[in-house]
Amino acid sequence: MKRVKVSSPGKLMLMGDHAVVHDRQCLVTAVNQRLWVTIEETSQTGEILIDAPDVGLDQFVVSLKQGELTDLPKAAKFVVQAIRNFDQFHPVKTGLHLTTASDFNATFGFGSSSAVTVASIKALAELQQLALSEAQLFKLAYQTVLDIQGVGSGFDLAAAIWGGTLLFSTGGKEIRPLVVKNLPLVVGYTGVKADTATLVKQVGGFLSAAPELVTPIFDTIQESVIQAEQDLEETNWAHLGQLMNLHQGLLNALGVSSPELERLVFAARSAGAYGAKLSGAGGGDCMIALVDNKTRSVVEEAIQTAGGQVLPVELSAPGIKVEE
Ligand code: PMV
């Protein structure tokens, strides 16, 4: 029976949060915290056996073809739906034993659902010796995310597949790798787990109710993404910091910041960061602060004193890899 092991990285949204769900662009980077999926064929045809200790699944059995996913933990839903979507195009003729392992805590908001989705599909393709292109992998993974979550731009899937730092447009219309040298960021975790789908729907509701107010906010976020891309190229950290602060103000205006995020953001700025903003959907999860060698340790300390946890991550990490 064949066995394949694949790893994919987590991600951090740099700029473009929320606006990218509404036909605009964002900047995303892959982080050096990875998630591993091992899939082994079994003789139990039609059955998926899941061991995912990080999300509390031990020898969990689910049908490959049918059954509601509502009772499953979130990570398992993505895995099972990914396998079912793959099976529609490339029938799976054996049983499957899937095991996951992860560097990162699923509560950090580094994108464990997207990482596990792309890794599962890639592992299945490898088992069938199928040359799935990156674009095909993205398409299947994006369909899976929409099936489960109903909303999302797909930026996290692109980071998990391509790695590095990317300019990304809604639904993967444009995915362009950027050359970014040593972006000096500090990442602070609020300790609060956010629910991305709920926040995305909330902002979507705000847009529908008041397009004349929300559309200009998205347009300004889009412009900040374009200017930030240039700042990354020119390593213009002072300007990029300003853009991050502006972006944070706009996310606050959209209603997705939180007292915990604001505390960490203001602590970082007071300690001398060029700029700071939340990263992702908001409501909790992580914030990022742009620093330099002189301010890094003071900013890290300030984030900790304000109740945050500094997460040691490296950016522009490699994308999906077949490990064994
Ligand atoms: O909460 P995260 O880290 O998964 O980021 C969500 C980013 C949004 O722009 C709000 C949603 C999306 O799919 O782009």
The dihedral through the CA atoms of 238, 239, 240, 242 has a sign that is positive
Confidence of residue 284 (pLDDT cuts 50, 70, 90): very high
3-class secondary structure, 176: strand
| 172 token code pair | 């993967």
In the predicted model, what is the mean pLDDT of the chain? 95
The span from the CA of 129 to the CA of 143, in Å, is 22
**pLDDT tens digit string along 117-156?**
999 999 999 999 999 999 999 999 999 999 999 999 999 9
Q: Is the pLDDT of residue 181 over 90?
A: no
Q: What's the CA gap between 42 and 310, in Å, rounded?
A: 42
In the structure, what pLDDT confidence band is assigned to residue 204 with cuts at 50, 70 and 90? very high
Cα dist. 42→88, 127, 200 in Å?
Answer: 19, 12, 39
Backbone angles phi, psi at 320, to 5 degrees: -60, 145
Given a cut of 90, is residue 67 above it in pLDDT? no
Ligand 1 center from residue 93 Cα (angstroms):
35
CB contact burial 38-51 (16+ within 10 A = b; e otherwise): bbbbeeeeebbbbe
- Burial of 69 per CB tally in 10 Å (0-12, 13-18, 19+): middle
Contacts of residue 232, defined as CB under 8 A and 6 or more positions apart, other chains included, come to 27, 165, 178, 180, 183, 240
Amino acid letter at 28? Answer: V
State which H helix or E strand residue 146 sits in. helix 134-149
- How many Å separate Cα 114 from the centre of its chain? 6
* pLDDT-based confidence at residue 44 (cuts at 50, 70, 90): very high
Q: What is the pLDDT of residue 5?
A: 98
Q: Could you give the maximum distance between any two Cα atoms of the chain, in Å?
A: 60
Determine the residue of 21, 142, 251 to mutate for testing ligand 1's pocket, defined as the one with the most ligand atoms within 8 A of the Cβ atom. Answer: 21
Q: 228-251: string of b/e by CB count within 10 Å (b at 16+)? A: bbebbeeebbeebbbbbbbbbebb
Rounded to whole angstroms, the Cα distance separating 324 from 311 reads 29
51-60, 143-152, 199-208: which range is least confident on average? 51-60
Tens of pLDDT, residue by residue over 261-276, are 999 999 999 999 999 9
> What DSSP assignment string belongs to 195-249?
-HHHHHHHHHHHHHH-HHHHHHHHHHHHHHHHHHHHHHHHT-HHHHHHHHHHHHH
Please check whether residue 161 is in contact with residue 139, taking contact to mean a CB–CB distance below 8 angstroms. Answer: no
> Residue 111 in 3-state DSSP?
coil
Q: Does residue 58 carry a catalytic annotation?
A: no
With residue 270 as reference, give the H or E element that holds it: helix 259-270
Going by pLDDT thresholds of 50, 70 and 90, the confidence category of residue 54 is confident
DSSP 105: -
Tokens linked to 32: 């050096």
Query: Which residue's CA lies nearest to atom 13 of ligand 1?
Result: 152
Quote the pLDDT of residue 41. 97
* Substitution candidate for ligand 1 out of 153, 225, 311 with most atoms within 8 A of CB: 153
Catalytic annotation, pick one of 17, 71, 147, 156: 156
Q: Cα separation of 265 and 303, whole Å?
A: 8
Query: Per-residue pLDDT averaged across 281-300, rounded?
Result: 97
Q: What is the pLDDT of residues 248-259, one digit of tens each?
A: 999 999 999 999
Output the pTM of the full model. Answer: 0.96
Please report the pLDDT score of residue 103 as a whole number: 87
Ligand 1 centre and the CA of 269: distance in Å? 23
Closest CA to 10 of 27, 38, 29: 29
Instruction: Identify the pLDDT of residue 106.
Output: 67
